[in-house]
């Protein structure tokens, strides 16, 4: 890969990818225990989160000084709802790693005023000194966080209407019932995401191959929000072989 700003690494499988990234995050946190981490939901980072939990359990990583910000949350759900992203993160990461609840930051899907909640979140990120390392997944339609493809993209944290395909891919959080998936969410904006000092996007499985190919080789367009990552100076894309199968080349992980 000749692009100095976009490093691509292709791993043999998603297990090796998750383990390698977990080791790297643990060593970054070892060097700078007060890291501010940006986190994503979705199936893709689950293995990574469990690996971080395993490192913590073996005493090989200390996350007690880390601050976290998640990308997004369903609008209309209280944090304690079993389908909320907050519940997902508690189950897969927070309770496994000793990350302190008072250092976890989340958009509140049941806040009285969406705009005020979004402004509060942007202020909280700025107040924490910005995000050092942002972990990202990618939707099959190229969304990042919940910035859906469209005619325009919001820069700051905002309220979004979810596409039918996004609601379908989130149905597992609601017992497989797509009708129970909220129609709206709050999401960090593309500007908020691009302000993170380092971005690491993970994509696995052949269903991601097309959007990954467009992200790497296509034009920057609001029709593929992930393409805006090309504007960032420090992006790493970590793939398994199926996600890289449409002509995306990278280093071997
Ligand atoms: C969800 C999340 C995104 C995530 C994406 C991919 O809707 N809000 O942050 O990157 O969809 O999900 P998955 O990893 O399950 O494919």
Determine the pLDDT at residue 203: 98
| Domain contains 253 | no
**Positions of the chain with pLDDT lower than 50, given as ranges:** 1
| Domain contains 1 | no
| Alpha carbon of residue 104 to chain centroid | 15
Determine the pLDDT at residue 233: 87
**Residue range(s) defining the domain that contains residue 95:** 6-248
| Domain contains 57 | yes
Catalytic positions are: 72, 141, 143, 148
212 lines ligand 1 (CB under 6 A): no
- Which residue CA neighbors atom 5 of ligand 1 most closely? 139
- Which residue CA neighbors atom 9 of ligand 1 most closely? 145
Cα dihedral sign, 228-46-160-109: negative
In the reported structure, the alpha carbon of residue 118 is separated from the centroid of ligand 1 by a whole-number distance in angstroms of 20
237 lines ligand 1 (CB under 6 A): no
The Cα 242–Cα 119 span in angstroms is 39
72 lines ligand 1 (CB under 6 A): yes
Determine the pLDDT at residue 1: 45
- Number of independent structural domains in the chain: 1
User: Which atom of ligand 1 lies at the shortest distance from residue 166's CA?
Assistant: 7
DSSP 135-200: EE---TT--BTTB--SS---SSSEEEEPPHHHHHHTGGGGTT-GGGS-SEEEE--HHHHHTSSEEE
Residue to probe by mutation, ligand 1, list 18, 42, 148, 202, most atoms within 8 Å of CB: 42
| Domain contains 203 | yes
182 lines ligand 1 (CB under 6 A): no
- Which residue CA neighbors atom 1 of ligand 1 most closely? 42
In the reported structure, the alpha carbon of residue 103 is separated from the centroid of ligand 1 by a whole-number distance in angstroms of 23
42 lines ligand 1 (CB under 6 A): yes
* CATH at 150: 3.40.50.1360
| Domain contains 216 | yes
**pTM, 2 dp:** 0.96
Which residues, 6+ apart, have CB-to-CB distance to 222 below 8 Å? 149, 150, 151, 152, 153
104 lines ligand 1 (CB under 6 A): no
Burial class for 146, CB neighbours closer than 10 Å (0-12, 13-18, 19+) = buried
CB atoms within 10 A of CB 112: 7
């Amino acid at each position: 890969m000749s692009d100095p700003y976009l490093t691509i690494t292709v791993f043999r499988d998603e297990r090796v990818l998750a383990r390698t990234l977990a080791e790297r995050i643990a060593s970054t946190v070892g060097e700078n225990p007060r890291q501010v981490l940006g986190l994503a939901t979705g199936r893709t980072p689950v293995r990574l989160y469990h690996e971080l939990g395993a490192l913590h359990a073996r005493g090989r990583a200390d996350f007690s000084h880390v601050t976290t910000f998640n990308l997004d949350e369903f609008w209309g759900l209280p944090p304690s709802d079993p389908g909320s992203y907050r519940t997902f993160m508690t189950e897969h990461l927070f309770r496994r790693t000793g990350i302190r609840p008072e250092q976890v930051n989340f958009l509140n899907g049941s806040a009285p005023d969406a705009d005020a909640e979004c402004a509060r979140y942007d202020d909280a990120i700025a107040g924490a000194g910005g995000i050092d390392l942002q972990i990202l997944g990618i939707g099959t339609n190229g969304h990042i966080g919940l910035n859906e493809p469209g005619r325009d993209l919001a820069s700051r944290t905002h309220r979004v209407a979810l596409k039918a395909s996004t609601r379908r891919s989130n149905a597992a959080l609601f017992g497989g019932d797509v009708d129970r998936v909220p129609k709206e969410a709050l999401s960090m904006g593309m500007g908020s995401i691009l302000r993170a000092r380092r971005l690491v996007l993970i994509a696995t499985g052949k269903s991601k191959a097309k959007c990954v190919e467009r992200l790497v080789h296509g034009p920057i367009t609001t029709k593929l929000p992930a393409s805006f990552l090309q504007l960032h100076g420090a992006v790493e894309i970590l793939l398994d072989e199926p996600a890289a199968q449409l002509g995306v080349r990278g280093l071997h992980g």
